[in-house]
Amino acid sequence: MALYKILNDNKYSVETLLTTISQQYKRISMHGVRELLLDEQAESIGIPLKKVWLPDIPSMEVYEQVISGKLLELKEQHIEHAIFGDIFLEDLKKWRENQLSRLGMKAVFPLWRKKSGKLIHEFIELGFKTIVVSVDTKYLDESFAGQVIDHEFLKRLPSYVDPCGENGEFHTFVFDGPIFQKPVSFTIGEKLYKEYPSHNGKNGEKNGFWYCDLLPVCQ
């Protein structure tokens, strides 16, 4: 949605997409989507894709170092801004702005302070299609993984879950919409449960996630 908004704003020229990928699993970080589907998504959108390779469960220091290195490469290519889809998380917005400021770049937030409910309905009505590929078990159960977000999905969503997943309740893979030349084809694979160390690191606490694998379809 952020990309759609910025493409319809003549103020900016989008030169590249940027995505972090797990070096070990060859999948999008946090989402678990296979690299091949990411490639097909970018090809359908028609914008060059650059990848940032991350080690499995990187420390914040390593993450910042790798990301900064890639952003400096882009700056050398005269790219001055980075666009994000953040909606209302103040601390995350401030962190992004600070990181980019150190590199002499600026952050752009085309969805900032928009109402999540209004955004997701606009997203659906524009013809975008997205499927839930991972859910945080603190918020949602396994049944939500692998579901396409439509109006019926939103009716089933608990009231304490942001409809855009802004608090990390779920992650999705967008496979069709007005900025796509053609839909990205896939079939639903198996569901997998994984646990990761909690961010607060207290008493060995872990966070659980359900992932729904998406399998590429050979054309």
DSSP 87-121: -S-HHHHHHHHHHHHHTT-EEE-TTTT--HHHHHH
Q: How confident is the model at residue 120 (pLDDT cuts 50, 70, 90)?
A: very high
CA atoms within 13 A on the CB side of 187: 5
Residue in 91, 90, 95 with CA at minimum distance from that of residue 82: 95
- Quick one: what percent of the chain has pLDDT higher than 70? 97
* 80 touches 106 (CB < 8 A): yes
Q: Cα–Cα distance between 165 and 171 in angstroms, integer?
A: 7
Q: The domain containing residue 188 runs over which residues?
A: 2-216
Computed over every residue of the chain, the mean pLDDT equals 95
Burial of 63 (0-12, 13-18, 19+ CB in 10 A): middle
Q: Which long-range contacts (CB under 8 A, 24 or more apart) does 98-104 make?
A: 99/64, 99/67, 99/68, 100/71, 102/68, 103/68, 103/71, 103/72, 103/75, 104/75
**Residue 54, beta-bridge partner list:** 22
pTM, full prediction: 0.94
pLDDT higher than 70, residue 202: no
Q: Cα–Cα distance between 162 and 2 in angstroms, integer?
A: 17
What number is the average pLDDT over the span 67-88?
A: 97
What number is the average pLDDT over the span 77-83?
A: 97
pLDDT at residue 205 in the model: 79
Q: Which residue has the tokens 């999705």?
A: 172
Residue type, 6: I
Min mean pLDDT across 11-25, 28-42, 68-82, 199-213 is at: 199-213
Beta-carbon count within 10 A of 155 CB: 7
Min mean pLDDT across 78-82, 89-93, 170-174, 200-204 is at: 200-204
pLDDT higher than 70, residue 219: no
pLDDT higher than 70, residue 132: yes
Q: How confident is the model at residue 57 (pLDDT cuts 50, 70, 90)?
A: confident
pLDDT higher than 80, residue 194: yes
Residue in 101, 90, 105 with CA at minimum distance from that of residue 18: 105
Q: Cα–Cα distance between 132 and 120 in angstroms, integer?
A: 14
Q: Is 175 helix (H, G, I), strand (E, B) or coil?
A: strand
Task: Name the domain count of the chain.
Answer: 1
Q: How confident is the model at residue 126 (pLDDT cuts 50, 70, 90)?
A: very high
Q: How confident is the model at residue 167 (pLDDT cuts 50, 70, 90)?
A: very high
Q: Is 144 helix (H, G, I), strand (E, B) or coil?
A: helix
pLDDT higher than 70, residue 7: yes
